[in-house]
Amino acid sequence: MRDERVKMRELSGFPDLKSTRVQLNELREIFSSEDRLLTLIKPDPDSIASSLALKTLLLKSIKYATTAYVGEITRQENIALIKLLSIPMERIEEIDLSEFNRTAILDGQPTHFEILENHHFDVIIDHHPITKGYSASFKDIRPSYGSTSTIMTEYLNAARIKPTTRLSTALLYGIKTDTNNFERDTRPEDVWAFRYLFPRANKNVLRKIELSEFSPEILNYFKMAFERMKVFKDKIFVHMGEIDNPDVCVQLADFLLRVNNISSTVVSSVVDDNLVIILRSDGYRKDTGKMASKLFGDLGNAGGHRSAARAEIPLGNLRKRIRGLTEEAIEKWIFRRIKGYRTDQIPA
């Protein structure tokens, strides 16, 4: 009978709120009324919404909570999200760390943040693959989930807190972006959270945010990409050369994946002193995370989910392999590796 109920719950996609309730209690036990919490995020819709949810969850148990972001907010939708929902956030550079006695990371793990190395974090809530080499008092990492916003929605529900329109809109958008509107890495729990938030969210604001996707400047990059792209069997590859911000590569990789008969896209660029490679696939036959680590893991950080992955290689690691490190030579080198992937004969 009990097994039957568990099975029914799984089929209906209804989350295991009982265990989330236990975790919620553990989470709250860490905090006391005088605590000042600093939450670190890399700003994207999922992490921004999650930080708003954590604040709401802990509102009554701590003194105050501040969200600080690492990196730049450049994507148009993020700017629109923050503006339209007036979400307060500060740059990490402007934060006085001594003001806080508790720290959290949402939608990421300390290994993704070079800042505060060897720091003991109080709270980590995330849906990325589990990484090792850090300590935290409270950890809730669910790599199979489509978004951290889904996990946070479960926490709010477990805490019996009805999210406001603002919070619901932010979380809904977090789920939509991270699952690419349920096209990738989605679980029934994500759908459940979506349904839970949907009637509470402001759909007009959401539409306005979603229609802010492309900046006028990005169209020039699209033009460049169309001219440079190379098609190999079911893959599209573009090397964008040196650019300021790899976000444009993410948008390009997502966009090009919509081409008929293309099952994966690879868009690379040189940002500062790193070769940044964005990979996307339909996830139908190939695991993109595995593809990324097989193709580039020997030279830098590489990995991700079944349909979305990323690699970052310090240019210094390529000096011996790519003569002169010219744009053309880098492009050739990546393209050669991609071509070798299917046959498993990945060239050096």
Nearer to Mn ion, 46 or 190 (CB): 46
Nearer to Mn ion, 148 or 153 (CB): 148
* Residue 174 burial (C-beta neighbours within 10 Å; 0-12, 13-18, 19+): buried
| Residue pointed to by tokens 């030279």 | 299
Nearest position to Mn ion, beta carbon: 46
> Can you say whether the dihedral through the CA atoms of 271, 272, 275, 281 is positive or negative?
negative
Question: How many whole angstroms separate alpha carbon 153 and alpha carbon 161?
Answer: 10
Nearer to Mn ion, 31 or 155 (CB): 155
Nearer to Mn ion, 107 or 122 (CB): 107
Min. distance of Cβ 168 from Mn ion in angstroms? 17
Q: Report the first-to-last Cα separation within the chain, whole angstroms.
A: 57
Min. distance of Cβ 119 from Mn ion in angstroms? 21
Min. distance of Cβ 108 from Mn ion in angstroms? 8
| Residue pointed to by tokens 């690379």 | 268
CA 160 to chain centre: 27
Nearer to Mn ion, 186 or 263 (CB): 186
Question: How many whole angstroms separate alpha carbon 317 and alpha carbon 275?
Answer: 10
Min. distance of Cβ 144 from Mn ion in angstroms? 13
Describe the strand order of the beta sheet including 274-281 as a list of residue ranges: 230-232, 235-242, 264-271, 274-281, 308-314, 301-304
Min. distance of Cβ 149 from Mn ion in angstroms? 7
Provide CB contacts within 8 A for 227, sequence distance 6+. Answer: none
Nearer to Mn ion, 178 or 247 (CB): 178
Nearer to Mn ion, 54 or 225 (CB): 54
Question: Phi then psi for 262, rounded to 5 degrees?
Answer: -95, 125
Min. distance of Cβ 282 from Mn ion in angstroms? 20
Min. distance of Cβ 147 from Mn ion in angstroms? 5
- Indicate the Cα dihedral angle 342, 304, 273, 222, nearest 10°: 70
Nearer to Mn ion, 77 or 178 (CB): 178
Question: How many whole angstroms separate alpha carbon 260 and alpha carbon 234?
Answer: 9
* H-assigned helices in the chain: 2-12, 17-29, 45-58, 76-84, 148-158, 165-178, 188-197, 203-210, 218-228, 247-256, 288-296, 327-341
Min. distance of Cβ 254 from Mn ion in angstroms? 15
Nearer to Mn ion, 305 or 337 (CB): 305
Min. distance of Cβ 192 from Mn ion in angstroms? 17
Using CB under 5 A, list all residues that contact Mn ion: 46, 107, 148, 178
Q: Which two tokens stand for residue 316?
A: 């210094």
Pairing of strands 102-106, 90-91: unpaired
